[in-house]
Chain A
Amino acid sequence: MSQKIYVTGIGLISAIGDNVEQTLDSLTRGKTGIGELELIDTIHKTRIKVGEVKHTNEELIKRVGLPADTKITRTSLLGMIAAKEAMMWAGIKDTNDFRTGIVSATSVGGMAITENNFNDYLNVEKTGDFLDYILTHDCGDSTEVMAKYLHIKDYVSTISTACSSSANSIMLGARLIKNNMVDRVVVGGSDSLSKFTINGFMTLMILDKEQCKPFDKDRKGLNLGEGAGFIVLESERAAAGKEILCELTGYGNSNDAYHQTASSPTGDGAFLAMEKALRLSGLKPKDIDYINAHGTGTEVNDLSEGTAIHRIFGDAVPMISSTKAFTGHTLGACGGIEAVLSVLAIKYNLVFPSLNFTNQMNELKFRPSTVLETEHPINHVLSNSFGFGGNSSALIFSRH
């Protein structure tokens, strides 16, 4: 008898809100978070649109209640805020009553600070407490900092597999519970914007200068975003007596085996990930009520993902949308943020609109939902996250 995996807490911060409540408000009112870049000083400032969290690091430090001179990265701060909200939601006050773990994902870690301090680090003449930041560069540091803040000691791990990172941290968390290694685990991811990411995506020429248009025939690329999203997974024993938000019933990860960065036009990796997740959940494709797509708005992703969706669902594609046009593509955090949105979709029977969509792609038969759907029961949500290198993941959340 397989252990059930319950979702008992959710928390997030992104360009569309500092917490679950604000996020839900933006989503239901169709209010995007994508706009001008304000907090990073880069030559590309006027060339791109981003989903930025409009609080300085100083403000975020104050919000988490740390001393003003704390040497901490934006990735850690965003993660702390989202993970704390998720734990509060789950009513976890004591982390000693059950074995508690954290698996956090990130793609940039402390890069946003390293890139500003780099030349000073190399200059042996320069000394000062800025050198403390060196230790914050590593991706794992953000998880360690979060674990300390949340008093989590039993299992601490970091995952970095590009844009599928936090979907994979959710998978790992579920497997830890199933293998009786922890009783509950805080899972998700956090990523801050950085020049490193902006320059990298500029070089790849896959950024839309305007608002991104997922699944549109005339899509021009993605908008980068930042934020963090976490959920709390608990075993049946740990969750006893709590409000169960939903269950994580399926997950799958696969290897597209096509190209170093691009997804295959046939969507093999995406297909396999969705197929594995469905098989694990015991559900049929027709049971899925809503697909929260990866839908980045790049030419390659949306074609590859859309093709794979047709391979799984045939012509009977359920309601589908990409929320990237709200939040931007938050890279290592997107799987966590979209997991929270999937849980909200089930809790409130919502399908969030795919913003900026006008023209259907010739290659696909479906159109994403473009208005907020409130009239349909949403019992099973499929959430996709696909990363560079063909690392493809799919999660299925189901009503309890």
Chain B
Amino acid sequence: MENTTKITAACVIENGKVYVNSKLDFAAEGSATSLDFLKAAYTHYQLNYPKFYKMDSLCKLAMVASELLMRTNRINEKYASEAIALIIANGASSLEIDTEHQVSIADEANFFPSPAVFVYTLPNILIGEIAIRNKIKGENTFFIFDTFDEDFIHSYTDSLMNNDKAKCVIAGWVDFYEDKYRAFLYTVERTNEGEAHTTTNINKLIDNKLNFERN
């Protein structure tokens, strides 16, 4: 079935494990903190992007997930930079780094707000970091929901694809707050291969039950 939208690759990161296309790819369950785990993943996958260390935890998580997605299906080689869109959501916004920034300005006698922390106090900066790293210049939007709204993200994605606003969409969820985290990102393309882009399949993919092997 050509000319229908398909989920072509996925990366899920949760509980000290990284899944690529529903298969366990890396585990570092022994990590003391979530941050340690993300740094371990960075080293394991040899991301080789020193800016990673300067990012807040939310962006670090987004960096690892998006990087693995890019490596899996090389969309940034297949499409023009303006043809790739980013539609990502989360629940905790940028509260993790907001809190850190607040602590740094709470004491009037020791008042040294950090510009490098401040620039991360918006959740959509994670979309910006993915875009900067991969030179993606298509439509990008960040949403905040209580929980992942697969119906909304699904229809938003299809609308972009059907109106020729994007040839490929990176969609999903990247959330990090109080040492808890979860990320799942997937690519949607118009192709013969892959799983149909449906809410049922999006949910399967989140639970790592989507079978990418069949094709």
Contacts and interface: CB of A to CB of B under 8 A. Distances in A.
B82 A254 contact: yes
Contacts of A316: none
Q: Chain B, interface size: which category?
A: 10 to 19
B137 A260 contact: no
Interface in A271-325: 272
Interface stretch (B127-135, B149-157, B196-204): B127-135
B125 interface: yes
B119 A261 contact: yes
B139 to A, nearest CB: 8
B140 A260 contact: no
A66 interface: no
A268 B132 CA distance: 12
Contacts of B128: 257, 260, 389-390
Contact of A389 (B81, B82, B125, B138): B125
A272 B115 CA distance: 29
7 contacts: A254-B137, A255-B138, A257-B128, A257-B132, A257-B137, A260-B125, A269-B137
B119 A257 contact: no
Contacts of A260: 119, 125, 128
A259 B129 CA distance: 8
A98 interface: no
Interface of B: 81-82, 113, 115, 119, 124-125, 128, 131-132, 135-138, 140
B39 to A, nearest CB: 21
A40 B21 CA distance: 56
A255 B135 CA distance: 9
A257 B125 contact: no
Given A255-B140, A260-B125, A268-B137, A203 B132 contact: no
Nearest to B115: A203
Contacts of A366: none
Q: Sort chain A's interface into a size bin.
A: 10 to 19
Contacts of B138: 255
A258 interface: yes
A389 B130 CA distance: 12
Contacts of A258: 132
The 4 closest A-B pairs by CB, nearest first: A257-B131, A260-B119, A255-B137, A257-B137
Given A257-B135, A268-B137, 19 more contacts: A203-B115, A204-B115, A255-B131, A255-B136, A255-B137, A255-B138, A255-B140, A256-B137, A257-B128, A257-B131, A257-B132, A257-B136, A259-B132, A260-B119, A260-B128, A272-B82, A389-B124, A389-B128, A390-B131
Interface centre among B115, B128, B135 (most CB of A within 10 A): B128
Nearest to A256: B137
Interface string A244-258: 000000000011111
Nearest to B124: A389
A259 to B, nearest CB: 7
B115 A257 contact: no
Nearest to B135: A257
A261 B136 CA distance: 17
Contacts of A257: 81, 128, 131-132, 135-137
Nearest to A261: B119
A277 to B, nearest CB: 14
A204 B113 CA distance: 12
Contacts of B124: 389
Nearest to B140: A255
A260 to B, nearest CB: 4
Interface string A113-149: 0000000000000000000000000000000000000
A269 B137 CA distance: 8
B204 to A, nearest CB: 31
A389 B140 CA distance: 12
A389 B141 CA distance: 13
A119 to B, nearest CB: 12
Contacts of A261: 119
Which one of A259, A260, A269, A272 has the greatest number of beta carbons of chain B within 10 Å?
A260
